[in-house]
Structure 1
Amino acid sequence: MQPAARSVKQHNRVACAGAATHFSAQAQDGPSVACSTRRSTPSDLGFQILGSLIKRGRRPYTHLCRTLIRCLCVENNVVEARMVFERMPDLGCPPDVISCNMLVKGLCKEGLVGAALQLLRKMNARRGGCQPDVVTYNTVIDYLCEKGSVTDAVGLILEMKVVGILPTVVTYTILIKGLCRTGNTRLAVQLFRELTSGGSRCKPDSVAYNTVMDALCEKGFVDDALELIKEMNFVGVSPDVVSYTTLIKGFCSRGNVNMALELLREMVAGGSSCKPDVVTYSTMVGGLCNAGSPDDAFRLIKEMDADGVPPNTITYGTLIRGLSMIRKVGMGPEILRDMSQRDQCCKPNVVIYSMLIDGFCKEGSMADARELLKEMKDVGISPNAITYNTLINGFCRSGDTSMAFELLMEMATFGDCCKPDVVTYSTIINGLCNTGFLKEALSVVEEMNALGISPNLVTYRTLINGLCAVGNTDKALVVLRGMGALDRNCKPDVVVYGMVINSLCKKGSIDDAYNLFVEMNIAGISPNIITYNILIKGVCRQGNIDKARRLVRQIIESSICSKPNVITYTTIICELCKKGYVTDALKLIKEMNVQGISPNGITYDTLVKGFCKVEATMLAFRLFQKMKMLGCESDIITYNMIIRNLCREGFVNGAVALFEEMKKKGFLPDPFIETMLLFKCSENGISHHQSMTASL
């Protein structure tokens, strides 16, 4: 016993002899009480008691070691918990299944599923003594499902059966939940149906039903979920408040608030067996608001009191969020009055006020939002950074950056509890950029750095976007290359490079844009398809189609970037058609098909215009007809070009038919085309020109 005593004493991290004597006496009656009543960590005391017992030659008992393992796992110290578990046989108190389950749970909590499985199988290998039970397996299966390793979880269930431990309804419910979480709803329902079959030993309980119902509602199969609740009543499984709340949420998500209300009324009429709770009512309140019925939602809150379910701040928060979404926060003052008349646990707080302020800001009612800030301070509620950031964003969106700066100064008066942060400054920079005050925006960035507030990626994106919008690419490049100087974690990304490349292309600085594209690759930042498309469009404007084609080939051969899309090819096809290279444009259409990319209406429309330009009228007309068959719409320019070419080549009947089609679509033909068509009809003696003249 002495080596064990020395081992335990190494972990006796609280050296207080008086305390050890005091708690050693307590340990005889209740070590778990001792672990929960001392000032230091419970495990420190547990080790102290354990060391004291061993020192006095007394054998520790299993309950003490079990409690110590639990305390260590709660403290996330699974290494020492495992050590205690493994030392238990040496201490004369063999581990039991409860100790094993506690340790397995602790290991899973820390993400050490491999160690948990090793322990589980080690226990299985022992003959007699501590053997894992269904709880042990369920703990590991639950962790695997939570992490999306459903296949491994299924394997563990098969292992359970091999070692003679039968899975319970809890086991299957965990697996069903895991399948639902990974999007395998169909397999989850299939497994659930195996449980409900007559030959199954495990019959699903309300938890299993609720799990499947929730998954069906998430996928939009609310009617199927409703059938399940009927089935529950039929097979004798009583639906609970979770069952009904899940369905109510599902119907609200689909916009069927009438059915949701019907279910709520059914719960109320059902008496105490399944009474709606505050979550049920809050869900219904949110559904009514989303459906544009805020008055009904507010009335429902009034009904809650009558049903003995007082609303809480979450209920009111749901109401305010819903009102904000439909731009109807004018009811805000009435909501605040109603909350103020309730007990302390439902008084308006900083979250409620901030939500209302946000709603007023979204509606553009900045005077009301400012007044609400004053009111919350008057009633003794201190605004926080979120409150101010919301207001600052509202004023910046309305173009009032001076008021935004005034609020920034006001924040500083609250001290550390309401300090401006990177979000505050980024919001102001965005407002300044949107109103054209780029110099001031750059000054704010300098102020941030002086205050020790590092700009983040959003800050830089906002600033660079603002500089690019006014064509100041030189300064944008300076800012881009200065990123990461103060914070290594804030380096330019593909979006930032894309902004500057796009701005350079718009200015016609294609070579500079291409050089920046190369620099981006050297910096280890892989371009995405948007970056490639921007550059391809730029080089096409420059007339360098060969370079554009090389970029497309680079995309295809790259293992990092996704394959070219319809925009990539349409951009090059447009440039080819402008130059009259329609044959090459047709080859690109074939290449698109090889790549599995379907041309869209813009692609075909561009090609039709290209054929018209080179006077290939019949090819243009046939492609135009194919467009209509595919459901692709053409614009008025395409119609006018084809009608003009048909008239020139003597296909007047076809031109008249297209003219009538244009008229039905509501397009207004070009006056020159109208005159040409009338002349051609008269010249060819086509009688249809009379009705055409009337329409003109």
Structure 2
Amino acid sequence: MAKSLNFQRFFHSVKSNLKVEEEPIRKLISLLETDRFQAAVSLTKSEIISKNPQFQALSHLYQSLANSFPPLASSLSSALIASCAQLKLAEPALDIIAHVGENQHPSPSLHSINLLLENLVSTRRYSDTLSLFSKIDSWGIRLDLFAYNKAMQSCVKSGDIDRALALFKRMKEKDWIVPDKFSYNVLISGLWKEKRGDDAEKLFDEMLGRGISPSEVTYNSMIDGYCKSGNLDAAFSVKGRMLISGLKPNVITYNSLMNGFCRARRTEESKNLLAEMEANGLVPDGFTFSILFDGLSRNGDTEAAVDLFEEAMRKGFKIDSYACSVLLNGLCKDGRVSKAEEVLERLVKKGLVPTTVIYNTLVDGYCRVWDVDAAIRVVESMSSYGLKADRFTYNSLINAFCKMERMKEAENFVIEMGENGFGPSIETFNSLIDGYGRANNFERCFEILEEMEKVGLKPTVVSYGSLMNAFCKNKKLNEAVKLFEDIVDKDIAPSVQIYNILIDAYSASGDQHKALELVDNMKKSGLSPDIITCNSLIKGLCKHGHVSDAQILMHKLRDEGLRPDVITYNTLISGYCSASDMHKALQLREEMKQLGVQSSIATYHILISTMSNHGKIKEVDELYHQMLQENLAPDFGMYKTMISAYMRSGDGSKATALQKEMAERSMPIYEMS
């Protein structure tokens, strides 16, 4: 009777503020008084869902009830927090926590706190998770394994692995809590992400030493970590231990291994893993195919990527939109844009819904091969799937028209872009500067720089670099130097790329002394010359017939820690070919092999063209065969060179075979006039 009278006094005192019916609150208090906690949580959730006004301002409800029923404060806050956590309403729960702390009320239960911690982590509110963890720790609540795990998980997700490790140490040594699989899995994964493989190995060994059996997640984290660090042998060793433990590799395991082999350019072994995966009854997912499509394309073998696509289609495997975009990107970068469009059409017939990213890949692909009409056709077809061109779409078109010096059309697309809600970006303006620079319209270039400022975009080093590059390409070196000085006066720090533009220009003009002076200035400003800097110097020497000096410079730079790349070697090989010194040119190609520098199509194009011009058709055949062995697919230029060589030597059958091959690869067929 006393409790009922007490409730009546409370109800009348707060009725004007809460504006509620009596029954739900009376029932809630009754349930908490009789320790029917779960029923109290169910009632609270039901009232929140039904939008009962008295349960909409939960922190106010908590304050009012806790002040009137102090003995129920802890169970009340626990019930309200648990209800909010289960309904994924973090804010009112955090407000209640704040009131508990401010008014020094009894703490809610750790169970309800853990529910809230889980809710915060699941919604990626890692900072709030850690703040809550610290708050309840300061209240003297004895933390359990679950709370520690959520805090460590939040640290890892926030990129603070050291704080996670400190919590792990404290959990074990201060609170005497034994870690579980989840604890180790979170930390091992976090350490690998931070490229701390040695520490991940130590934790893995500690886990085994404690007698905690690794799960699939543990093994997959170790395998993925080793693969990304390039230690494929260790990855396979872990896979072996996984099998011995009785666990079977899953799709994630195989995806990690395939990704590792693709990164190492060992694509054949990746395909073997795919076969093993299927033999074990596992179905490849979209990520599996995206890994293989990307690996094969990066390795220059888009034909194998297409073969894999055909195999996937025959077997009925699903190619998702991401895997599709990866395959199309590889084909487009290889110049096989019509093939990419054919692939998309077939997937659409199988039910794939195209994305803007997929269409942008095709648009950019056609722009790269200067087929702007096809690019515009693709843009127009987007509307049939409810898609619209975005800023990337327009920038691809604008950049292509600028590269082709069709500036009126480029400007028209800038206008259309704005009409469709996309203001020009830095990239848009940079393309325009580059285009007008190519067209020698430098006055318009400076106007565009002013327009950028008017719309609130500050010209970047790239903006000025485009104009400087245009000056240099048009042999206006003095103007380029003046612009360089203006950049410095504007307190814009010149980048390595800016220096490289001038170094390349001076080298090309034969002023090697001035080029080297700029290299010294670059070093004094705290910048280090890169391989592009060196290639410019080497190209300048080769252009003016100093090929031997260029090769000496290459070896000197190598001694200083700069590794020559394929462009370095191609420049020198071209220099020796121009000097008709095929012996040294071929020697350099052998040196490339020994140093692990991958030849490019350009390498073989230089050598084959020179051999062809000297009538050495046998050597042409040998080089072409070696190129194919290196998984380098011929491009249009290579086909043109080979067909011309065979036709000049009177071998029309080989020329015809290559023309047929071009048709099969959906490339324009080259025919000698």
TM-score band, normalised by shorter chain? 0.5 to 0.7
Distance in 2 (alpha carbons) for counterparts of 1:595 and 1:361 = 37
| Alignment match of 2:483 (pick from 490, 506, 516) | 516
| 1:442 aligned onto 2:411 | yes
Q: Please show how residues 115-194 of structure 1 align to structure 2 within 5 Å.
A: 115=131, 118-119=134-135, 121-123=137-139, 126=140, 130-163=141-174, 164-194=176-206
Corresponding residue of 1:234:
244
SS at match of 2:44: helix
Q: Tell me which residue corresponds to 1:216.
A: 226
1:681 match: none
Sequence identity of aligned pairs in percent?
22
Which of residues 256, 259, 262 is equivalent to 2:276? Answer: 262
Alignment match, 1:466 = 435
Equivalent residue for 2:523? 556
Q: Please show how residues 457-606 of structure 1 align to structure 2 within 5 Å.
A: 457-486=426-455, 488=456, 490-539=457-506, 547-559=514-526, 562-565=527-530, 567-568=532-533, 596-597=561-562
Larger radius of gyration: 1
CA 1:523 to 1:113, structure 2 compared with 1: closer, same or farther past 3 Å? farther
- 1:165-192 deviations in Å (ceiling 9; x for gaps): 2322322221111111122334323431
CA contact (8 A) 2:538 2:553 kept: yes
How many angstroms does 1:460 deviate by? 2.0
* Secondary structure at the counterpart of residue 127 of structure 2: coil
SS in 2 for 1:527: coil
Looking at structure 2, the residues matched to 546 and 516 of structure 1 have their Cα atoms a distance apart, in angstroms, of: 21
Letter in 2 for 1:98: H
Structure-to-structure mapping, 1:12-411, within 5 angstroms: 17-18=19-20, 22=24, 25=27, 28=31, 29-35=39-45, 37-39=49-51, 44-47=56-59, 49-51=61-63, 53-54=65-66, 57=69, 59-60=72-73, 61=75, 62-67=77-82, 70=85, 74-75=89-90, 80=95, 82-86=97-101, 90=105, 93-102=106-115, 106=120, 109-111=125-127, 115=131, 118-119=134-135, 121-123=137-139, 126=140, 130-163=141-174, 164-197=176-209, 200-219=210-229, 221=231, 224-235=234-245, 237-239=246-248, 241=250, 245-246=254-255, 249=258, 253=262, 254-256=267-269, 257-266=271-280, 268=281, 276=282, 283=288, 287=292, 290=305, 292-301=307-316, 315=319, 317=321, 320=324, 324=328, 363-364=337-338, 389=360, 393=364, 396=367, 401=372
Residues 1:25 and 1:240: Cα distance change in structure 2 (over 3 Å):
farther
Shift of 1:501: 0.6
Change in CA separation of 1:475 and 1:439 when aligned onto 2, cut-off 3 Å: same
**Residues 558 and 19 of structure 1: is their aligned pair in 2 closer, same or farther, counting only changes over 3 Å?**
farther
1:203 aligns to what SS in structure 2? coil
- Structure with greater contact order relative to length (CA < 8 Å, sep ≥ 6): 2
User: Aligned partners of 1:457 and 1:280: how far apart in 2?
Assistant: 37
From the superposition, tell whether residues 250 and 404 of structure 1 become closer, same or farther in structure 2 (CA, over 3 Å).
closer
Tell me the distance in 1 between the aligned counterparts of 2:377 and 2:21: 58
Aligned-CA RMSD value: 5.5
- CA shift, 1:504, in A, is 0.6
Deviations 1:274-317 (A, max 9, x none): xx4x665973797598482344323432xxxxxxxxx7xx6454
Q: 1:121 to 1:51 in 2, by over 3 A?
A: closer
How many angstroms apart in 2 are the aligned matches of 1:372 and 1:41?
55
Q: Please tell me the residue identity of whatever aligns with 2:308.
A: S
CA distance in 1, matches of 2:375, 2:393: 10
Distance 1:408 1:230, change over 3 A: closer
State the distance in 2 between where 1:249 and 1:400 align: 35
Aligned length, in residue pairs:
549
Question: Secondary structure of the residue that 1:483 maps to in structure 2?
Answer: helix
Distance 1:592 1:452, change over 3 A: same
Read off the aligned partner of 2:224 and give its amino acid letter.
D
Q: In 1, Cα distance between the equivalents of 2:522 and 2:22?
A: 71
Superposition TM-score, scaled by structure 1 size:
0.62
C-alpha separation between the residues in 2 aligned to 1:536 and 1:457? Answer: 25
Hey, what does 2:640 align to over in structure 1? Answer: none
Secondary structure of 2:424's counterpart equals coil
Hey, what's the Cα distance between the residues in 2 that align with 1:602 and 1:393?
28
Q: Taking structure 1 as reference, are residues 447 and 667 closer, same or farther at Cα in structure 2, changes over 3 Å only?
A: closer
TM-score by length of 2: 0.64
CA distance in 2, matches of 1:592, 1:360: 32
Q: 1:252 to 1:533 in 2, by over 3 A?
A: closer
Amino acid at match of 2:463: V
Query: Structure 1 residues 464, 39: closer, same or farther in 2, change over 3 A?
Result: farther
* Deviation for aligned residue 1:227: 4.1
Q: Residues 24 and 53 of structure 1 are in contact (CA less than 8 Å); yes or no, is this contact kept in structure 2?
A: no
Q: Is the 8 A contact 2:452 2:458 kept in 1?
A: yes
State the secondary structure of the residue aligned to 1:188: helix
Q: Residue 80 of structure 2 contacts residue 93 of structure 2 at CA under 8 Å; is this kept in 1?
A: no
Distance in 2, Cα, partners of 1:573 & 1:372: 47
CA–CA separation in structure 1 for the residues paired with 2:472 and 2:546: 23
Farther-moved stretch of structure 1 (167-176 vs 108-117): 108-117
Match of residue 636 from structure 2: none
Distance 1:31 1:183, change over 3 A: same
Residues 1:296 and 1:148: Cα distance change in structure 2 (over 3 Å): same
Verify the 8 A CA contact 2:337 2:362 in the aligned structure 1.
no
